[in-house]
């Protein structure tokens, strides 16, 4: 029993704040037989967390909108800076930006983290009970993997891949997964996004062998069949047993998605919301992997806006289907911008990797008829949130330096409506009469705008 009592994989765990899942009361009444694990959908532009309120709700109550400022959506998070990995036995450090740190994330269904790995360090096997995770490597290399829950054949299949700088990988919601830096002498770092404002984290070894009070020796001995183990057995063997136990419990509810994954079958003649699933027996690790080159600068010279958006959505990465998240790299030329646009199906969270950005979003019509603009200048490592569906932009104010950002979006296919393109570049065009009245200009101004070459800055 010494092994049971003293095996504890101490690391800096993913810190979570246990929130009940589900949607609104109305939705529960309509879909009482379906327990939804996703964050509740926002019913207004934003619901900035009032963490001092005595009221208890799923998430946090909203601050009064008149008391909300741009700093509720901003955090000088220093995600550009390496974090100390020496205090963790696992050799890793997770800097998580969730609703506990950034109040503007409340109800918006997304969060972000930087993970640093010492040489031979790892983020040990863990689960996020409320979130899918999408990761891109920004330094070094990582060996990553996840384990399926019990399939129809009783198998817990392991999917693994070695990732290089700029690669992207997806870990489906609720499944046990890990990242490991295989280098003996070089650190590694990654930026991840998670499809919940507060994804939670269950580090497997800590939860099973480090609970307070501890789980009974009798329970653990039987669960892991320790009567068959030599006390000198390797920690790797123990870890394998841990995975076998907890993978059966990773999904404690009937979530959306309703299985481990639903890799998009883009060749299927069947039409559904999203894509039909590939047969699970035909799924392999490359369905969750893309050599996306997100570490490499992209060409901004072909865009009148002076920007280039490299979007990794379900059209490029089939494993994202049903998982509610995507990722992009955005390059900005000096004085370049990602022009005003909306994502009809997603909240966006962004961190600056290089340079400086002036960013902002505009509220929808408030009760007083006002469309309020929230703006902020972001420096390297800062994080900003653009609520779902609102018009927003990013602008590089430098005359001589480019800028780069990584963004994550809370949809597998968030969509983008660039305002100028949609209004003045539609096919067929919107009527002159409609636009002239809408913008309070004469028809000649509308005709001139419609004659411009409107182009897409998305790859």
Q: What are phi and psi of 187, to 5 degrees?
A: -75, 170
The answer to whether the annotation marks 341 as part of a ligand binding site is yes
DSSP E strand boundaries for 164-278: 168-171, 176-180, 188-194, 202-203
Report the side by side order of strands in the sheet with 326-332. 74-75, 383-386, 348-354, 403-409, 326-332, 307-312
Task: Say what angle helices 443-451 and 432-439 make with each other, to 10 degrees.
Answer: 110
The answer to whether the annotation marks 365 as part of a ligand binding site is no
- 338: Cα separation from own chain's centroid: 20
Q: What is d(CA 220, CA 25) in angstroms, rounded to the nearest whole number?
A: 39
The answer to whether the annotation marks 392 as part of a ligand binding site is yes
Residue pair 260/319 in contact (Cβ under 8 Å)? The answer is no
Burial category of 201 from C-beta neighbours within 10 Å (exposed 0-12, middle 13-18, buried 19 and up):
buried
Tell me, what DSSP letter sits at residue 449? H
Q: What is d(CA 59, CA 50) in angstroms, rounded to the nearest whole number?
A: 10
Q: What is d(CA 4, CA 209) in angstroms, rounded to the nearest whole number?
A: 7
The answer to whether the annotation marks 348 as part of a ligand binding site is yes
26-45: b (≥16 Cβ within 10 Å) or e: eeeeeeeeeebbbbbebeeb
Tell me, what DSSP letter sits at residue 175? -
The answer to whether the annotation marks 128 as part of a ligand binding site is no
Helices H, strands E: what count in the chain?
8, 22
Residue pair 451/420 in contact (Cβ under 8 Å)? The answer is no
Nearest partner of 383 among 184, 166, 101, judged by Cα? 101
Residue carrying the six token digits 């076998």: 244
Residue pair 306/299 in contact (Cβ under 8 Å)? The answer is no
Residue pair 21/38 in contact (Cβ under 8 Å)? The answer is yes
Q: What is d(CA 48, CA 108) in angstroms, rounded to the nearest whole number?
A: 10
Q: Which residues are annotated as a binding site?
A: 338, 341, 343, 348, 392
Q: Which residues are annotated as a binding site for oxalate?
A: 338, 343, 348
Q: Which residues are annotated as a binding site for Mn(2+)?
A: 341, 343, 348, 392
């Amino acid at each position: 029993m010494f092994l049971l009592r003293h095996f504890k994989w101490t690391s800096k765990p993913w810190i979570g704040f246990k929130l009940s899942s589900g949607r609104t009361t109305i939705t529960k009444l309509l879909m009482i037989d379906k327990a939804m694990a996703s964050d509740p959908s926002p019913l207004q532009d934003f619901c900035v967390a009032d963490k001092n309120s005595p009221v208890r709700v799923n998430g946090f109550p909203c601050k009064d909108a008149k008391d909300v400022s741009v700093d509720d959506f901003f955090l000088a998070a220093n995600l550009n800076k390496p974090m100390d990995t020496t205090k963790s036995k696992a050799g890793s450090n997770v800097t998580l930006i969730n609703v506990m740190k950034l109040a503007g994330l409340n109800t918006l269904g997304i969060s972000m983290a930087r993970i640093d790995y010492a040489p031979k360090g790892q983020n040990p096997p863990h689960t996020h009970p409320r979130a899918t995770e999408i990761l891109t490597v920004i330094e070094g290399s990582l060996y990553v993997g996840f384990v399926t829950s019990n399939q129809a054949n009783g198998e817990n299949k392991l999917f693994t891949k070695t990732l290089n700088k700029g690669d992207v990988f997806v870990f489906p919601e609720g499944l046990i997964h890990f990242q490991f830096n295989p280098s003996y002498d070089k650190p590694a770092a990654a930026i991840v996004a998670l499809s919940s404002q507060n994804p939670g984290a269950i580090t497997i070894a800590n939860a099973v062998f480090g609970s307070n009070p501890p789980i009974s020796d009798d329970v653990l001995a039987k669960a892991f069949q320790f009567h068959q183990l030599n006390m000198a057995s390797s920690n790797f063997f123990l870890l394998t047993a841990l995975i076998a136990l907890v993978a059966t419990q990773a999904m404690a509810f009937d979530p959306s998605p309703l299985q481990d994954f639903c890799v998009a079958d883009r060749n299927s003649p069947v039409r559904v919301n999203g894509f039909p699933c590939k047969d699970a027996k035909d799924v392999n690790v490359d369905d969750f992997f893309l050599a996306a080159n997100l570490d490499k600068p992209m060409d901004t010279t072909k865009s009148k806006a002076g920007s280039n958006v490299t979007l990794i959505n379900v059209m490029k990465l089939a494993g994202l289907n049903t998982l509610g998240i995507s990722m992009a790299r955005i390059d900005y030329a000096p004085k370049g911008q990602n022009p005003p646009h909306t994502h009809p199906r997603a909240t966006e969270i962004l961190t600056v990797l290089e340079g400086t950005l002036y960013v902002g979003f505009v509220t929808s019509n408030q009760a007083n008829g006002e469309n309020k603009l929230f703006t902020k200048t972001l420096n390297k490592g800062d994080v900003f949130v653009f609520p779902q569906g609102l018009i927003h932009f990013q602008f590089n104010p430098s005359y001589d330096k480019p800028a780069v950002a990584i963004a994550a979006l809370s949809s597998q296919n968030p969509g983008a409506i660039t305002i100028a393109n949609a209004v003045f570049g539609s096919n067929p065009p919107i009527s002159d009469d409609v636009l002239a009245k809408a913008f309070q200009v004469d028809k000649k101004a509308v005709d001139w705008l419609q004659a411009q070459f409107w182009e897409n800055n998305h790859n």
